[in-house]
Amino acid sequence: MASKNNVPAKLTDEKPTNKKVAALEPQKAFDGGEFLTTNQGLKVNDDNNSLKVGDRGPSLLEDFILREKITHFDHERIPERVVHARGSGAHGVFKVYESFAKHTKAKFLTDTSIETPVFVRFSTVAGSKGSTDLARDVRGFAVKFYTQEGNFDLVGNNMPVFFIQDAIKFPDLVHAVKPEPHNGMPQAASAHDTFWDFISLVPESAHMIMWVMSDRALPRSLRMMEGFGVHTFRLVNEQGVSCFVKFHWKPLLGVHAVAWDEAQIISGKDSDFHRRDLWEAIDSGNFPEWELGVQIVPEEDEHKYEFDLLDPTKLIPEELVPVQRIGKMTLNRNPDNFHAETEQVAYHLGHVVPGIDFTNDPLLQGRLFSYTDTQLLRLGGPNFHEIPINRPIVPLHNNQRDGHMRQTINTGNVSYSPNSLGGNYPAQAKASEGGFTSYPERIDANKVRARSKSFIDHYSQATLFFNSQSTPEKDHIINALSFELGKVQTIAIRERILAILAKIDKSLAAGVAYNLGLHIPKNLVQLNQSFGADADPEFYQSEEFKSSLEKSAALSMVNTPKDSIKTRKVALLACEGVDEKSLMIVQDALKAAGAVVVIVADKLGTFMSENDTEITPNESLLTTASVLYDAVYVPGGINSVGTLCANPDALHFLNQAYKHCKAIATDTAAIQVLEQTYFGKNLPADSSNETVMAEGIIITDDTNTLATQFIAAISQHRFWNREAPRKVPA
């Protein structure tokens, strides 16, 4: 019902011929040119800011507009989660290294003798339960600590910042990124008009967009990604002294990603790739591990930095505040029942313990309301805490009764406080007895709908992130933005994004603009005014901000640890007549280094080696693919080599591995297999000799040397430098 200029067309008096369509006609709403209202018809004056005590103070429960908007949003999906619908989980334990009593009185962070049970749920954000694991998306990283003082939920993501600064915009963000309402497409993807329309009009999202368009959005494994609490929290010690804290999870396997082309292929080959990887790692005893890190900022340093600690679109660079690693989490048990545990687990930012408290981050404040409201619908009512996976390990005593699916059978006739019939129990606990007390932060301000001026810098940290990337990582960001915006049909939206990118980095914007065949607009405010959008100059940041740091090493995945191949999946291509020695020496060396070795043959069923030893392959080229492995080795053996040379699937397997920058090794006796590949035609003339290419291809007739060099190459994860100049049609 809209014209090409997005202006609603005038409704006609013609009646639809279909009776069902005609019956629905009076229920239709056509939005265009009207004022924004609440569900009660009240015109809304400010839909960008929640009601706060001062522009930097806490959000108020009084804000009926915020409550109505988020309540409606929370109840839009039944019973699937609105966001983070597709997830996988695991049980584990956490233990602090040394007492952190200097900063907090939370016992699980101060008593080194305590091993705290945890349940962790990883998830994509935008897709439905049936979508792929390999969507370009943020990943949820939520940890439930079952502490001796009650449950503490650290609900975060694999990226340290977020799209928006105020929770009142969360429904808008998710509505924009979800499939478009008129056709339900695309699924689990942000490459469409409504998402980028929203982003182009909300410049505070610029920093987060850099992260989502980076390789961080395509993790190699859930076990190989960082986690962040996103918000700034408080820690409070026994003396009542408070400090600010940012929470980090640092994976001991390092932070690694897959290529975008690879991610798309994996989605077709195995959409459960991340789920399967996590399950198999735990099932085989290769328990994933993360260290809990904290960045501590003393209260007196709250306003010390060029960014606001309460702004969720900002991070604290590790060069300014180093991350202290204070404990380790190990995931050591898979769920027994996916629905009962992974699906029914309920996280909530408001689940804290003494020693951990909130700040006035306006996104955090809104989420404190939203999580409970969501669980009430999704899990059937107020007793979701009684579902086994959600139950604390400490006994519960309160006067809350009844409700849907109540499981506790409370005895006695007292369910109120104060009371005399029950001895006034359950009694309130003093702070000295472990009772939770909120930090007594003094606030003196008017209640307003406003954004703190300290939140106005939208681009400096986005620039810092881009500057911190390696050349291949920058190329990946440019390619990702080009792909995403290439799917956007509205030219004006592309132009607005280009104008925002130009504020981040001119070379970034130029690279994307070239791929899109567009010019970079010079004035973002005028551009939006011409499109009829809100173009408040202050909102679009007329003032220039610059980070005090040129680069931050922690922001690039290049600097992640690369000293292990533990749990890396390596394919050994072998067929009838393989050189058993060439196969077994490399296989044993890889296994000894902790890798998972998979023998891939031309077909299933046993085959014989040159020495007449029976070998049973794990997979066949008919059912597996290169994208599911981290590296490939081709052993010698005349008949095996001949079979692989004549097999198009084997050559495609190797071409894909090369295209995706993985380590490839071959016995010199198998060099002709590589020579049959697209990339192999350009191998050095002396490749038959003992040669190690800087691009991660190892060729030698000394199998022991080959194994050592191959392991070293796999530990580097990828050889991205061969990506741009040598594209392979695989």
Q: Does residue 545 lie within any of the structural domains? A: no
First to last CA, the chain: 44
CA dist 501 and 206 (Å) reads: 8
Q: Does residue 463 lie within any of the structural domains? A: no
Q: Tens digits of per-residue pLDDT, 639-660? A: 999 999 999 999 999 999 999 9
What's the token pair of residue 54?
């001062």
**More confident of the two residues 380 and 251:** 251
Q: Tens digits of per-residue pLDDT, 91-139? A: 999 999 999 999 999 999 999 999 999 999 999 999 999 999 999 999 9
**How many Cα atoms occupy the beta-carbon half-sphere of 484 within 13 Å?**
30
The residue from 390, 416, 438 where one domain ends is 390
Q: Does residue 264 lie within any of the structural domains? A: yes
CA dist 626 and 677 (Å) reads: 14
Whether 527 shows a pLDDT value over 80: the answer reads no
What's the token pair of residue 135?
């969507």
CA dist 311 and 642 (Å) reads: 61
Q: Letter for the amino acid at 60?
A: L
Which of 614, 622, 613, 630 is closest to 665 using CA atoms? 630
H or E element in which residue 250 lies: strand 242-251
Catalytic residue status for 157? yes
Contact by Cβ (8 Å): 458, 202: no
As to burial, measured by CB atoms within 10 angstroms (0-12 exposed, 13-18 middle, 19+ buried), residue 619 is middle
Q: Does residue 426 lie within any of the structural domains? A: no
Contact by Cβ (8 Å): 245, 297: yes
Query: Which residue's entry shows tokens 């005014």?
Result: 529
The residue from 157, 334, 479, 647 that is catalytic is 157
Contact by Cβ (8 Å): 421, 414: yes
What is residue 560's three-state secondary structure?
Answer: coil
Q: Tens digits of per-residue pLDDT, 156-207? A: 999 999 999 999 999 999 999 999 999 999 999 999 999 999 999 999 999 9
Whether 687 shows a pLDDT value over 50: the answer reads no
Question: What was the pLDDT predicted at 34?
Answer: 79
% of the chain surpassing 90 pLDDT? 73
**Across 389-397, average pLDDT:** 91
User: What are the two backbone dihedrals, phi and then psi, of residue 662, each rounded to the nearest 5 degrees?
Assistant: -95, 160
The residue from 48, 49, 84, 103 that is catalytic is 84
Contact by Cβ (8 Å): 2, 32: yes
Question: What was the pLDDT predicted at 505?
Answer: 96
Q: Tens digits of per-residue pLDDT, 714-728? A: 999 999 988 876 677
Structural domain that includes position 597: 562-722
pLDDT classification of 416: cutoffs 50, 70, 90: confident
Q: Residues near 396 by Cβ (< 8 Å), separated by ≥ 6? A: 385, 408
- Choose the most confident range, by mean pLDDT, from 373-377, 404-408, 415-419, 552-556: 552-556
As to burial, measured by CB atoms within 10 angstroms (0-12 exposed, 13-18 middle, 19+ buried), residue 542 is exposed
Question: What was the pLDDT predicted at 68?
Answer: 82
CA dist 101 and 297 (Å) reads: 15
User: What are the two backbone dihedrals, phi and then psi, of residue 727, each rounded to the nearest 5 degrees?
Assistant: -65, 140
Question: What was the pLDDT predicted at 1?
Answer: 36
Question: What was the pLDDT predicted at 528?
Answer: 62
Question: What was the pLDDT predicted at 24?
Answer: 63
The residue from 390, 423, 444 where one domain ends is 390
CATH at 217: 2.40.180.10
> Given the DSSP bridges, would you call strands 631-634 and 569-573 parallel, antiparallel or unpaired?
parallel
Q: Tens digits of per-residue pLDDT, 29-44? A: 777 777 888 877 778 8
What predicted TM-score, i.e. pTM, was given to this entire model?
0.91
pLDDT classification of 487: cutoffs 50, 70, 90: very high
Q: Does residue 703 lie within any of the structural domains? A: yes
User: What are the two backbone dihedrals, phi and then psi, of residue 601, each rounded to the nearest 5 degrees?
Assistant: -115, 175
Radius of gyration of the chain (CA): 28
Question: What was the pLDDT predicted at 694?
Answer: 61
Catalytic residue status for 397? no
The residue from 390, 415, 447 where one domain ends is 390
As to burial, measured by CB atoms within 10 angstroms (0-12 exposed, 13-18 middle, 19+ buried), residue 113 is exposed
Which of 294, 289, 293 is closest to 329 using CA atoms? 289
Whether 20 shows a pLDDT value over 70: the answer reads no
Rounded to whole angstroms, the maximal C-alpha distance in the chain is 94
Query: Which residue's entry shows tokens 């290439």?
Result: 486
Q: Residues near 430 by Cβ (< 8 Å), separated by ≥ 6? A: none
Question: What was the pLDDT predicted at 2?
Answer: 40
CA dist 250 and 160 (Å) reads: 12
CATH at 580: 3.40.50.880
Q: Does residue 104 lie within any of the structural domains? A: yes
Which of 43, 38, 198 is closest to 126 using CA atoms? 198
180, β-bridge pairs: 185
H or E element in which residue 530 lies: helix 524-530
CA dist 488 and 511 (Å) reads: 17
pLDDT classification of 78: cutoffs 50, 70, 90: low
pLDDT classification of 467: cutoffs 50, 70, 90: very high
Question: What was the pLDDT predicted at 8?
Answer: 38
Q: Does residue 19 lie within any of the structural domains? A: no
User: Per the structure, how many domains does the chain have?
Assistant: 2
Question: What was the pLDDT predicted at 7?
Answer: 39
Q: Tens digits of per-residue pLDDT, 613-626? A: 999 999 999 999 99
Whether 19 shows a pLDDT value over 80: the answer reads no
**How many Cα atoms occupy the beta-carbon half-sphere of 351 within 13 Å?**
22
Question: What was the pLDDT predicted at 336?
Answer: 94
CA dist 52 and 588 (Å) reads: 63
Q: Residues near 180 by Cβ (< 8 Å), separated by ≥ 6? A: 186, 192, 193, 194
**Across 476-486, average pLDDT:** 98
CA dist 125 and 139 (Å) reads: 6
Q: Does residue 380 lie within any of the structural domains? A: yes
**More confident of the two residues 709 and 681:** 709
Helices (H) and strands (E) in the chain, counts: 18, 21
Contact by Cβ (8 Å): 680, 672: no
